[in-house]
Structure 1
Amino acid sequence: MKEDFLHYVWQHQYFDKTDLRTEAGELITVLRTGHRNADAGPDFLDARLQIGEVEWNGAVEIHLRASDWLRHQHQTDKKYDQVILHVVYSADQEIRRTNGSVIPALVLAPRLDLALVNSYQNLVEQASTSLLPCASMLPRVPMITRTMMVERALLERVEQKADGLAALHEQLGQDWEATAYHALAAGFGFKKNTEPLARLAKALPLAVVRRHRHDERQLEALVFGQAGFLSDTESSLADPYVQELGREYEFLRHKYQLAPAAMAPHEWNFLRLRPANFPTVRLAQLVAVLHARPVLFSALLTASDIRTLEQFFLAPVPTYWRQHYQPGRPGKVAALGRSSVHLLIANVVVPLRVAYARYVGQPELIESAVALLEHLPAEHNHITDVYQGVGFGHRSAADSQGLLALSRGYCQPRHCLRCAIGSRILQQNLVVG
């Protein structure tokens, strides 16, 4: 059993409250359970209880064993002096505040419904390889509960990404064009190389990019040079075009006082990627967009439909990179695919629009941004396939993004108690006093 199970039980009062008493025998009446505290300090704040003849307002702390209070060093922390009830699974020790007064304890072990405990253990004790711990119990969960949970997970995922962009916007001096540039660069990393591409955007300021957007070769030299792909390797030394880009890069680097080759080839991930997904190919595609689209943010913000957004990303890459996967290594390269474009819309455009909508206080823009996902085809991968296989709806990118969020935010970390589906399963056959 984990402590979060007892948090769930206390929050929803899923235990037998008949003749509820402290370990010292005082009668307890729960007037208000309090609200969960996400910061440092006791687990539930602003609780209201009647213990014996006295009404108390304060905090509730929850542990599996009473002695966990000491293991967590609460006995020296004055924030915990506001605790009016110590809720525990077992009381193995009397607990006192820093002034020596005893904290009343409520033991839940004999008051828990066995069916609830068994359902909880069936969920969280599934093998770690089980992607969906409640799969066998899903037939008992109404479809509307599943649908609402996927929608909730989707909104949480979009909001989380928007939070990151809002923080980036602040770091960049509230410049939305720069925010779009950094978000776009990271988006072209397509997960495997998101972090290196985000660092590249920091190493190549938008102000420098703007000055050379009109010249594709100079832009190419700046991007590949700062990425570390124009270094003197055996393959690049034999390629006149790469050498030419290297000379151009050195001139521009000195002109703008850029750090030499801000990154190195070994910092990029090539392992287990198809050549069409190599970071060098993605960099060429990013160059194409930066060269062809003189304005980023307003174009991404005002595009009225998916087709317009698709056209934004489908810019022709520099000629050299249509025939080379890496510098000095020839091979025919496919253009940016529609599925990749749709991922960029889902992971860059939608969160960017949501972040801006919150910034200007226009909630209707949030709705229209998220609605874009309804017009994108569903993404199919090993995670979404599992959910689709057990009856979850999967018709659009909104479903895909929601299912991925459900998996990563709830199912994989076994946060079943925070999930409406898991909560519904636990509530079935529950009997409490």
Structure 2
Amino acid sequence: MKEDFLHYIWQHQYFDKTALATTEDEPLQVLRVGFYNTDAGPDFREAMLRVGKVEWSGSVEVHLSASDWHRHQHQLDQKYDQVVLHVVWQVDTQVLRTDGTEVPVLELRNRVDLRLLQTYERLQQSKNEIPCAAFWPGVPEITKTLMLERALVERLEEKGEEVLQVYRSYGNDWEQTAFHTLLRGFGFKINQQAFEQLAKSLPFHVVRRHQHNLLQLEALLFGQAGFLADADEEYAQQLQREYTFLRHKYKLEPLPRHQWNFLRMRPANFPTVRLAQLAALLHLHPSFFARLLETGTVKKYEQLFQASVSAYWQKHYMFGRGQKAVAKGMGKSSAQNLVINVAVPILAAYAVHTGERAYLEKAMNLLEQLKEESNKYTRLYEELGWQATSAAGNQAALGLYKRYCHPVNCMRCAVGNKIMKNTPAL
């Protein structure tokens, strides 16, 4: 058993209240359970209780054993002086506040229906990737739909917060934040870390100063990425000369070439091709963040990421390796991937930052209009009969799995709550 089970029991009051009393035999009446606290401090705030003939307003702390109070050092923490009830599965010691006064205790182990505990343990001990797989068919569709919508919003908030952390680290510069997020997106998982390192090693003010010149922009990106050390043809040597000058001017230190991954990749996805596409995009859209905010339709967003590469890269995948037919720009599926992983998180972050919900709605509308390929996460829910019909569904499934199913956080999930509530004889 974990504490989340007792949090659930207390929050929903799923225990026998007959002759309810503290361990000191004082009559206990719960007037308000309080609000679950996700921050530091007691588990439930603003609870209201009647102990004996006195009404108390304060916090409720929940533990498996009363001795956990001491194990967590609450007797030394003044935040816990406001606790008016200690809810535990079993009592094994007395608990005191910092001033030495005793905290009233409610023991639950003889008040909870064992069938409820058995259902909880079935979920916790499930061998399935989705712990509630055996119960899933019996859960109302509306419950599953609403939970997936909630998981989508939470995932957007999480992605938005990641962008806001970047924003704060760059001194509240949205264009630089967009540049960092864009480069990270261009890594497409396999080279994500390398592209992120490139974003950190190449000051955006340097990029901004040379965006008007595509050759200089290519020199900065390829040189800083470490691809120009062995230049042996005219185009590459030209880039090398430009980069050598810019490197000394801005005191740049290039990344090691070995961090880039080419293994088991199609040539169209090589990091060299992505860098050429990135240079073309930055050259075409010098105010990229502003374009993200003002762009309207899904098609326009896709086009935003599909700038045509320079002449050399229309015939090459790597330096010195030519091809007769090479795509001039990014493919549609890759552009859609960037809409999902670059545009949508930035819009979500800007919505949180400004308080303007329109940007969050715009992000969600983009996801609902895009079709994302099925992945290992969505397939888990497809096997249970749920089908994602858009990128919004895919992101919802990913959020549900990572936040609730994989960590077996069933007590915080509406589906898990419904399963528990449907346990007989509650």
Is the TM value for this pair above 0.5? yes
Instruction: Choose which of 246, 253, 256 in structure 2 pairs with 1:260.
Output: 253
Higher alpha-carbon deviation: 325-334 or 21-30: 325-334
3-state secondary structure, aligned to 1:24: coil
Give the direction of change, closer, same or farther, for the CA distance of 1:305–1:106 in structure 2 (3 Å limit): same
Instruction: Choose which of 201, 204, 212 in structure 1 pairs with 2:202.
Output: 204
3-state secondary structure, aligned to 1:46: strand
Letter of the structure 2 residue corresponding to residue 425 of structure 1: I
- Which residue is equivalent to 1:351? 345
Give the direction of change, closer, same or farther, for the CA distance of 1:380–1:91 in structure 2 (3 Å limit): same
- Which residue is equivalent to 1:215? 213
* Structure 1 residue runs of 4 or more that deviate by more than 6 Å after TM superposition: none
Give the direction of change, closer, same or farther, for the CA distance of 1:415–1:239 in structure 2 (3 Å limit): farther
State how far apart, in whole Å, the 2-side matches of 1:254 and 1:343 are.
36
Q: 1:138-178: CA deviations, max 9, x gaps?
A: 11111111111111111111122222223333443443322
- Kindly report the root-mean-square deviation, in angstroms, between the aligned alpha carbons of the 2 structures: 2.2
- Which residue is equivalent to 1:32? 32
Letter of the structure 1 residue corresponding to residue 133 of structure 2: A
How far the C-alpha of 1:137 sits from its partner, in A, is 0.9
- Which residue is equivalent to 2:416? 422
Q: 1:72-97: CA deviations, max 9, x gaps?
A: 12222222222221111111112222
3-state secondary structure, aligned to 1:109: coil
Asked if the contact 1:96–1:103 (Cα under 8 Å) also holds between the matched residues in 2, the reply is yes
State how far apart, in whole Å, the 2-side matches of 1:75 and 1:205 are.
49
- Pair 1:310-2:310 in alignment: no
| Aligned pairs for 1:260-299 within 5 A | 260-261=253-254, 263-270=255-262, 273-299=265-291
Higher relative contact order (CA 8 A, sep 6+): 1
Asked if the contact 1:113–1:430 (Cα under 8 Å) also holds between the matched residues in 2, the reply is no
Asked if the contact 2:214–2:279 (Cα under 8 Å) also holds between the matched residues in 1, the reply is yes
- Which residue is equivalent to 1:90? 90
State how far apart, in whole Å, the 1-side matches of 2:313 and 2:124 are.
49
Higher alpha-carbon deviation: 160-169 or 17-26: 160-169
Give the direction of change, closer, same or farther, for the CA distance of 1:112–1:100 in structure 2 (3 Å limit): same
Q: 1:164-198: CA deviations, max 9, x gaps?
A: 22333344344332222222112112233334323
Asked if the contact 1:23–1:105 (Cα under 8 Å) also holds between the matched residues in 2, the reply is yes
- Which residue is equivalent to 2:101? 101
- Which residue is equivalent to 1:47? 47
Give the direction of change, closer, same or farther, for the CA distance of 1:410–1:242 in structure 2 (3 Å limit): same
| Aligned pairs for 1:17-166 within 5 A | 17-127=17-127, 130-166=128-164
Higher alpha-carbon deviation: 140-149 or 183-192: 183-192
Q: TM-score, normalised by structure 2?
A: 0.92
Asked if the contact 1:147–1:393 (Cα under 8 Å) also holds between the matched residues in 2, the reply is no
State how far apart, in whole Å, the 1-side matches of 2:262 and 2:26 are.
66
- Pair 1:368-2:323 in alignment: no
- Which residue is equivalent to 2:165? 167
State how far apart, in whole Å, the 2-side matches of 1:108 and 1:41 are.
22
Asked if the contact 1:154–1:398 (Cα under 8 Å) also holds between the matched residues in 2, the reply is yes
State how far apart, in whole Å, the 2-side matches of 1:409 and 1:29 are.
34
State how far apart, in whole Å, the 2-side matches of 1:260 and 1:27 are.
71
State how far apart, in whole Å, the 1-side matches of 2:124 and 2:295 are.
44
Asked if the contact 1:357–1:366 (Cα under 8 Å) also holds between the matched residues in 2, the reply is yes
| Aligned pairs for 1:216-231 within 5 A | 216-231=214-229
- Pair 1:409-2:403 in alignment: yes
Give the direction of change, closer, same or farther, for the CA distance of 1:276–1:90 in structure 2 (3 Å limit): farther
Higher alpha-carbon deviation: 330-339 or 376-385: 330-339
Letter of the structure 1 residue corresponding to residue 214 of structure 2: E
How far the C-alpha of 1:404 sits from its partner, in A, is 0.9
Asked if the contact 1:146–1:392 (Cα under 8 Å) also holds between the matched residues in 2, the reply is no
3-state secondary structure, aligned to 2:155: helix
- Which residue is equivalent to 1:190? 188
User: Any gaps of 5 or more consecutive residues in structure 1?
Assistant: none
How far the C-alpha of 1:362 sits from its partner, in A, is 2.7
3-state secondary structure, aligned to 2:395: helix
Letter of the structure 1 residue corresponding to residue 221 of structure 2: V
3-state secondary structure, aligned to 1:30: strand
State how far apart, in whole Å, the 2-side matches of 1:15 and 1:357 are.
41
Asked if the contact 2:159–2:348 (Cα under 8 Å) also holds between the matched residues in 1, the reply is no
Give the direction of change, closer, same or farther, for the CA distance of 1:22–1:283 in structure 2 (3 Å limit): same
Give the direction of change, closer, same or farther, for the CA distance of 1:268–1:54 in structure 2 (3 Å limit): farther
Give the direction of change, closer, same or farther, for the CA distance of 1:87–1:330 in structure 2 (3 Å limit): farther
Letter of the structure 2 residue corresponding to residue 429 of structure 1: T
Asked if the contact 1:34–1:44 (Cα under 8 Å) also holds between the matched residues in 2, the reply is yes
Higher alpha-carbon deviation: 181-190 or 312-321: 312-321
Letter of the structure 1 residue corresponding to residue 418 of structure 2: R
3-state secondary structure, aligned to 1:7: helix
State how far apart, in whole Å, the 2-side matches of 1:378 and 1:260 are.
38
How far the C-alpha of 1:68 sits from its partner, in A, is 1.4
State how far apart, in whole Å, the 2-side matches of 1:273 and 1:413 are.
32
Asked if the contact 1:383–1:404 (Cα under 8 Å) also holds between the matched residues in 2, the reply is yes
Q: TM-score, normalised by structure 1?
A: 0.91
Give the direction of change, closer, same or farther, for the CA distance of 1:275–1:416 in structure 2 (3 Å limit): farther
3-state secondary structure, aligned to 1:111: coil
Letter of the structure 1 residue corresponding to residue 220 of structure 2: L
When the two structures are aligned, how many residues end up with a matched partner? 424
Give the direction of change, closer, same or farther, for the CA distance of 1:150–1:272 in structure 2 (3 Å limit): farther
